[in-house]
Amino acid sequence: MKTTHRKTIGISSIVLICFFSMTCIVSSGQEVGTFKDKRDGQIYSWAKLGKKMWMAENVKFLSSSGAWAYNDSLQYVETYGYLYDWNTAQQVCPKGWRVPSVDEFGILFESLGGDSIASRKFMEMDTIFWNRLDSVTGNPTRNATSFGGTRRGDSTFSGINVWGGLWSSTLDEDGYPVDFLFARGDPSISRSSHNKTSGFSVRCIRK
């Protein structure tokens, strides 16, 4: 799997990088880039936060089961990716990537200033994806791909563009998967646990 990256070298250079390589810089000295999922040709953005490379958008791989477009409408997939049940989530990351553990999420959030403000910082990763998209489409719209909504155990959907959650690879003491919840306008991140049949988004970390 080939990855690409750039360093911050000035505003004019950022524009050229975005246009020619579909790679953008969002903060001084931060490594960012793109890679291709060989399974379906999907191109993903990533950002290096601390010592780890994190995907800057949600997984969009359509597995044979356990994956749903929000409200069963494919119009949401390009922006928000698919929602997965927990077992499926552990299998959908591209080769060389995996679902982060609770401890890895914790290290990430601490590096972003702690749980009380980490959500706002985490959302800045999404500008990598949107700047890349803008360079192709000219669309200036900004959104947070973490607000992909959820799928409940009763097969209903809720929360698109308002809230969303990311699965971890960790089970709590009662055997329920741990997830992290984001809500528009809330700078904090909430930890929760849900049934394995619930549907949440997936972001992967580089192995």
Residue type, 193: S
Neighbouring CB atoms inside 10 A of 62's CB total 15
Residue 43 and residue 35 in contact, taking contact as beta carbons nearer than 8 Å: yes
pLDDT over 60 at 143, yes or no: yes
What is the rounded distance in angstroms from the CA atom of residue 171 to the CA atom of residue 22? Answer: 37
**In the chain, where are the structural domains located?**
59-206
* Average pLDDT over every residue of 74-83: 96
Q: Kindly list the distances between the CA atom of residue 174 and the CA atoms of 171, 177, 193, in Å, as whole numbers in the listed order.
A: 8, 9, 9
Reading phi first (left if > 0) and then psi (alpha if -120 to 50, else beta), residue 67 is in beta
For the stretch 4-32, pLDDT in tens is 433 322 323 333 233 333 444 444 457 89
Sign of CA dihedral 99, 103, 104, 106: positive
For position 127, what pLDDT does the model report? 75
For position 116, what pLDDT does the model report? 84
* C-alpha torsion angle, residues 53, 183, 99, 17 (rounded to 10): -30
Sheet (strand 43-49) strand order: 32-36, 43-49, 52-55, 205-206, 97-98
For position 12, what pLDDT does the model report? 30
Q: What is the mean pLDDT of the chain?
A: 83
For position 117, what pLDDT does the model report? 87
pTM for the structure as a whole = 0.83
For the stretch 168-191, pLDDT in tens is 999 999 999 999 999 988 988 999
For position 142, what pLDDT does the model report? 57
What is the rounded distance in angstroms from the CA atom of residue 31 to the CA atom of residue 48? Answer: 5
